[in-house]
Structure 1
Amino acid sequence: MCVLLLLFQLMMILLSSPINVVLVESVLTTAKPGCPTSCGQIAIPFPFGIGSNCYLDPWYAVNCSSNKPFLLSFNLEVLDISIEEGTMRVSHSVLTACNKTYYDGEDIYMESVNMENSPFFFSQTMNIFSGLGCDNVASLFYYDSFITGCYSSCQASGDKRETIGCYGIKCCQTRMPYSLQVFNASVGPVNYDKPKETTDCKKAILVQESWLPGLTGNHTETAYAMLSHAERVPVVLDWGIRSDSSFNWDMNDRHHSDCANISSSMDDRFAIDNMSSSTIGIQVRQCMCSRGFEGNPYLNPGCQGICSGFIFLLLLIGAWRLHIIMKRRKDIKLKDKYFKRNGGLLLQQQLTSSYGNVDRSKLFNSKELDKATDHFNVNRILGQGGQGTVYKGMLANGKIIAVKKSKAIDEGKIEEFINEVAILSQINHRNVVKLLGCCLETEVPLLVYEFIPNGSLFQYLHDQTEDLPFTWEMRLQIAAEVAGALSYLHSAASLPIYHRDIKSANILLDEKYRAKAADFGTSRSISFDQTHVTTKVQGTFGYLDPEYFQSSQFTDKSDVYSFGVVLVELLTGQKPISSSTTQDMCRSLATIFLSMLDNNLFDILDPEVIKGKNEEIMIVANLAKRCLNLNGKNRPPMKEVAMVLEGIQASKKESNVQQNREEVEYVRTEVIEHWDILIK
């Protein structure tokens, strides 16, 4: 700590010196004095500049729009500028042709940005020309003169070569032989025996080589995968100063820099027929600081000796290290603050005192969850509810997870969050979504669940497709599984647990369409001497127990009522609340079902349900009626509900076994009779 303090004091002394002020300014900025140094996160060094009198001449004028820099000469978005390498990365369009019919000699063409007479060239060494598509010839032209091209063939069945680079299978590449200022690109099939209609996309792309994976050793994504989705790609331009510009070359040479032509043999490099006469003879020079000097060679003074800045460099490193240490301490304190505010101490107390071992839940750190969800990218959102947003993520070990992020910091809601962690940590049931852990060191608390791939029961009931009919057998199985989970929560857990928000949207389906109860944010554990919980009314309209709504007293029979609504959803395929456009009012599905049960039940059933056995349907319908009884005492407990549904399942299995036995016996009899005939 004493060393850091001494280093800080030394920095203050050095920065107070006028000499070092000039040194600091020359190192930290490469823009013209008094001009903006950057646009967004991108540095804009001289001869480029933002605003009048900030650039050398109009070729280098930059417009900063919405924190994005654009080179005004060609309206190209600038991705970065390098003084040292004399390069600029820009965003360039891609030639794309999809679902086209090709006729003899009629390829699809695109012209690049025309930079003739300018000090900019498409870099020959840092770009590659690439073609994408099945049976695609991608060609590069200078006006009408062919320069280079490549052919990408169709992928053979089982061929996996596209995963290791861009080598001809749906993706080809070649390097262009010249640094061009304008080019034409085309795509088309390899021959035209007859008009060819294609349903795929063909592309021709000039792109920065190091941007592509697979070509540089980075195999996390193939070059084909990146290019096939790209509409614009980064392209590298070489740039310099035209020899006929207003730049003061004599001034520059006096300040420790070296300049050289980068296009002195222009007509040799562009020995192409029909070359524009305006291009030949352009002299462009690039400058760099002499050996032992650093800075911007286009400024005066621009290049400073490295040795003169050695102390400052050490000072800068020390200051940076001090900044990192202080930032880490601040982050630790902030995480500790969030941990306490998000109920970390309460969670530890609940898990250790009431629910057992705290190690049942893993505490994730914020960095691994931020990386797993791609910084909580909106494209990773699985769903949004009243308590938060759920994101899909992937941990470093490849495990797929679901991360639930609370909507807002509301200290009144923290107890619910901690309650969900505490409850789920003690639940071990195949039909209850598994809690993998939580993170309390972030601004809003996070829960980490196992990922359930097939969405919710609500989606399958109300967005059915012909690809996967939601059969009576599937519905019966899901009903039995959910009933079993609730029976476990009510009767078999160490303390009875009331879910308090049973609905089809909180029932998830795994890869085998097994049901899993989810979202325990409003759940409660009830001690054995409690008969009810008195609290403010919570739940979802349409599933809410009328008795609980009137009395604010939630019991296990309130979960039974909500499950009864789910049973009616399974039977009818209708939503729990239906809107009547003629009467402009909402009607409860439970009410409609009970009114039609005795005489018109089959008029309200889902067509897939009607395909089931009538006796099974009637058993489930009457069970739903019992669950929806307005008097909670007359509703069956979940244990009985689960037994009824499991009994139907068991009888179906026994029926199938008996049918198989009869079929075996029939075949056996037929064989014996046939054998007797042969013997006689």
Structure 2
Amino acid sequence: MEHSSNTLLTIVLLWVLTPFVLGDEVVPRQVLKPYCSHTCGNVSIPYPFGIEDGCYYFVDNNYDYKFVCNDTYTPPRLILGRNLEVLKVSLEGELTINNPVCYDCYHNSSQGQLLKTIFWSWVNLATFTISSTKNVLVAIGCDTNVWFTGFRHGRPYYTGCMTQCANLNDVADGACNGIGCCQIALPEGVSNITTNVSSFSNHRFVPFNPCSSAFPVEIETFKFYQRNLSQDLNYYRSNEIKLPVIFNWKVGRNSCSVAKAHRNYMCTENTDCYDSEYEVGYRCKCKDGYSGNPYLSQGCTDVDECKNNDTNDCEKPEYCFNINGGYNCHCPEGYHGNATMTDRCVSNRKAWFTPVLVTAGIGGGIIALLLTVFLLHWQHGKKEIKKMREKLFRENGGMLLHQKLSGQDDDILKFFTIEDLEKATDNYNNVNIIGRGGFGIVYKGTMPNNQVVAIKKSIKVDPKQAEQFVNEVLVLSKINNRNVVKLLGCCLEDEVPLLVYEFISNGTLYEHLHEAVCASILTWSMRLKIALDVADVLSYLHNTISPQIIHRDMKSMNIMLDESYTAKVTDFGASRLVPLDQGQLATMVLGTWGYLDPEYMQTSDLTEKSDVYSFGVVLVELLTRKKAISNDRSETEKCLAMHFLLKMKEGRLLDILDKNIVNDGTIEQIQQVANLAKGCLMLKGDDRPTMKEVSIELETIKSKGSHPWNNNDAQFEEDCQLLLGGNSGSGAGGCSSGIDSDLYNPHSPLGSGR
């Protein structure tokens, strides 16, 4: 009898424990321990999150779902990981944390010395990713840049923005547009995020702004105010400022289909499973007609819609009958109809007498009246829609664009309707997204004539910024070059402006250079042809078009490649038209770190030589396959332009070249292109060649080889000394470097290192 009891106990224990342990993997099932806490302070804690052991999802030693309730505060605070305060957790897959603001402050010591205090912030969560739709990256300051890093699809991800201002009167409350405040959107799927901020000139020229600050933040909770610029170090230290940031969470490491085949599948009865497009894992959701926690056994229970008249449309409460996952409305005996508010129950008894003619007359009159009301309402609605579209057309710069294009060929630009683009993109279906960035989303679309196009849908901007949008359209309308992505038309009737381009199917030069498989296809001759194509475009913009156009954001990300690897230059949003009587323009500095002309950054005077410098960086990318800015490299090598010039100066060019393109047949051409790149990267614009000279030199190198570019080495030595003495490393051009006094030896083939 005792043996029989032990056997029965063993069977019961195995039956209870089997759902929780499978091999070495802990399989979180749906029954929670009776001692599990469901709240901490004012925050609810739904499973798969929990505090006590056995109360949270735990697999592969992942503790990201384990919380700690810190009751030393009043009310207690819910803590995740390394002291991250959790503000809210939702079963819709969102986790809101309180993230500290990072800052970079400058102040004078009692001895008059300039002191610097830096505070960076990071969220070390590999499982969860920052939400791109609910957050935005912000930097505040008058000589400030923010650098945001993380991991996306297993690879490092970088982005940032910069802001400047010389006078408080230039700054407006609520306007985060690059003057005192800048903000950019973030992509999906970025985890392990770090935010740091720095100042260009230690706030020496903006005494009213002693600190730079930066942070990712929930969009709905942030508004910029002019007074933010005057906050000092004491303010940040004493207030311990934190702002809400929303992260996306999911469970598992596989898609729904793969997870369903294993016993550790988390979605329980009456649930649906959803794959995460940009992240690893999946999410569970109760089916329609059910509510509760989809990760718990019997967590999704039927909603009795008949108990609440707001959740059903039955004519009377007694006509409502609840069923699993929904409800039905039934008429009582002796009546017919659907028993709903729109189709009520009608008695089956017939009237003894029906005055047919009277009824028909009344019915006809009612129908005529209804038709009249409908037609009037329809016409009024059409007028309102037309009025709204005209208003949006004006706000998006339509009148300004018509004015600027007046007198030109009518076919130069097509104006599309909202319906045209909605139909082309299947109502902006996410499946058709082919690009996403800080200025908006790019969709693939198919027009009625089967022409495939790329549709750029900008983020919603201040109507005052419509001039920048019109500028891009105006610039592109003046360009007729086979190596420029062709602008087909635009739509200005929507809340945000849309541009329609020809579709380029082979991605960007940046993607081809920095993806190993794609890079192996780019031979030296293909890279040389791409360089020549881009040089021809810039020469065309600088010399052929009147007025002259300066691109201002030349980089490998803005060079598309078609099926035959022909280069197509794109993104003219930052470009400027230069009047005939001006050789340079005083502008707010725009561009991308690592590509910005250092002379332009210092003086704010934009010239065609600024494009030459940026093109020089692209040449170095083609030679080395290295990124223009990389935190993975040492401080002296962080900036690719300075790293390249240092190697050239030391006679060790071979150390930095992409080994895939170096062979006996390419050495001479590579050295000539490297010398040309060195000339483009001269600190002073006057010492650089023009783009027309660069194009001619590349054509000569490509066709039959040429003598190396005739650089002024003495001037190069002077530039290096100016860079070392005048600019300490931040971004483009002005990166610090330990260049020694030996000049690069042009007679030594590529150098072998020493």
In the superposition, the TM-score normalised over structure 1's length comes to: 0.52
Q: Which amino acid aligns with 1:348?
A: H
Correspondence 1:610 to 2:673: no
Partner SS, residue 443 of structure 1: coil
CA-CA distance at 1:559 after TM superposition = 0.2
Query: CA 1:325/1:513 → structure 2, altered by over 3 Å: closer, same or farther?
Result: same
Does residue 352 of structure 1 match 2:406? Answer: yes
Question: Quick check: 1:622 aligned with 2:675?
Answer: yes
Q: Which residue number corresponds to residue 645 of structure 1?
A: 698
Partner of 1:13: none
Give the secondary-structure state (helix, strand or coil) at the position aligned to 1:597: helix
Name the SS of the counterpart of 1:577 in structure 2.
coil
**Superposed displacement of residue 468, structure 1:** 5.5
1:319 and 2:373 aligned:
yes
Return the offset for 1:303.
Answer: 11
Write the distance in 1 (CA, Å) between the matches of 2:349 and 2:655: 86
Aligned position for 1:43: none
| 3-state SS of 1:537 partner | coil
Paired residues of 2:512 and 2:518 also in contact (CA < 8 A): no
| 1:301, distance to aligned residue in structure 2 (A) | 8.7
Q: d(CA) in 1 for partners of 2:703 and 2:536?
A: 14
Amino acid at match of 1:342: N
Report the AA paired with residue 700 of structure 2: G
CA shift, 1:310, in A, is 4.9
For 2:522, which of 456, 464, 470 is the aligned residue?
470
CA distance in 1, matches of 2:519, 2:678: 32
One-letter amino acid of the structure 2 residue matched with residue 493 of structure 1: I
Partner of 1:436: 488
Q: CA, structure 1 residues 468+602, in 2 after alignment: closer, same or farther (shift >3 Å)?
A: closer
Higher helix proportion, which one? 1
Q: CA 1:296/1:376 → structure 2, altered by over 3 Å: closer, same or farther?
A: closer
Residues 10-37 of structure 1, C-alpha deviations (whole Å, 9 max, x = no match) = xxxxxxxxxxxxxxxxxxxxxxxxxxxx
In structure 1, what is the Cα distance between the partners aligned to 2:426 and 2:490? 18
Task: State the aligned residue count.
Answer: 382
Please list every run of 5 or more consecutive structure 1 residues that lacks an aligned counterpart in the other structure.
1-64, 67-95, 99-111, 114-239, 258-286, 654-680
1:588 is matched with which residue?
Answer: 639
Distance change (3 Å), C-alpha of 1:633 and 1:333? same
Report 1 or 2 for greater relative contact order, CA contacts < 8 Å, sequence distance ≥ 6: 1
Distance 1:633 1:652, change over 3 A: closer
Q: Is the 8 A contact 2:512 2:519 kept in 1?
A: no
Contact 1:543 1:565 in 2 (8 A): yes
Counterpart contact for 2:417–2:491, Cα < 8 Å: yes
Distance 2:350 2:559 in 1: 67
The residue identity in structure 1 corresponding to 2:503 is: F
State whether residues 395 and 401 of structure 1, in contact with CA within 8 Å, keep that contact through their aligned partners in structure 2: yes
Asked whether 1:549 is paired with 2:601, we answer: yes
Shift in CA distance, 301/400, structure 1 to aligned 2, threshold 3 Å:
farther
| Structure-1 separation of matches of 2:369 and 2:381 | 18
Aligned to 1:661: none
Q: The residue matched to 2:499 in structure 1 has which SS?
A: strand
Given candidates 592, 605, 611, the residue that maps to 1:559 is: 611
Asked if structure 2 preserves the Cα contact closer than 8 Å seen for 1:252 and 1:300, the reply is no
The superposition leaves residues 440-476 of structure 1 with CA deviations (integer Å, 9 ceiling, x where unpaired) of 1111111111011111111101113169522111111
**What's the CA shift string for 1:555-605, capped at 9, x where partnerless?**
00000000000000000001000214776x982100000000142111111
- Name the CA distance, whole Å, in 2 between partners of 1:456 and 1:288: 58
Deviations 1:274-297 (A, max 9, x none): xxxxxxxxxxxxx789xxxx9747
**Which of 341, 347, 372 in structure 1 is aligned with 2:395?**
341
Where in structure 2 are the equivalents of 1:399-548 lying within 5 Å? 399-465=451-517, 469-548=521-600
Bigger Rg over Cα: 1
Please state how far the C-alpha of 1:373 moved relative to its aligned partner.
1.4
Unmatched segments (≥5 aa) in structure 2: 1-90, 93-255, 259-268, 271-319, 322-327, 707-754
* Corresponding position of 1:328: 382
1:600 aligned partner? 652
User: Quick one: percent identity of the two aligned structures?
Assistant: 46
TM-score (norm 2): 0.47
Q: Give the Cα separation in 2 of the matches to 1:429 and 1:97.
A: 48
Query: 1:378 and 1:627 mapped to 2: Cα distance?
Result: 41
**Residues 295 and 302 in structure 1, CA contact (< 8 A), matched pair in contact too:** no
Residue 424 of structure 1: CA displacement?
Answer: 0.9
Separation of aligned partners in 2, 1:406 and 1:489: 25
1:51-130 → structure 2 map (5 Å cutoff): none
Once residues 247 and 441 of structure 1 are traced to their aligned partners in structure 2, the CA distance between those partners, rounded to angstroms, is: 44
Report the Cα offset of residue 322 of structure 1. 2.2
Q: Which structure 2 residues correspond to residues 250-265 of structure 1 after superposition, within 5 A?
A: 252-253=333-334, 255=335, 257=336
Q: Report Cα offsets for 1:147-183 as digits up to 9, x if no partner.
A: xxxxxxxxxxxxxxxxxxxxxxxxxxxxxxxxxxxxx
Counterparts of 1:471 and 1:429, CA distance in 2:
25
CA contact (8 A) 2:546 2:580 kept: no
Whole-angstrom distance in 2 between the partners of 1:434 and 1:594: 35
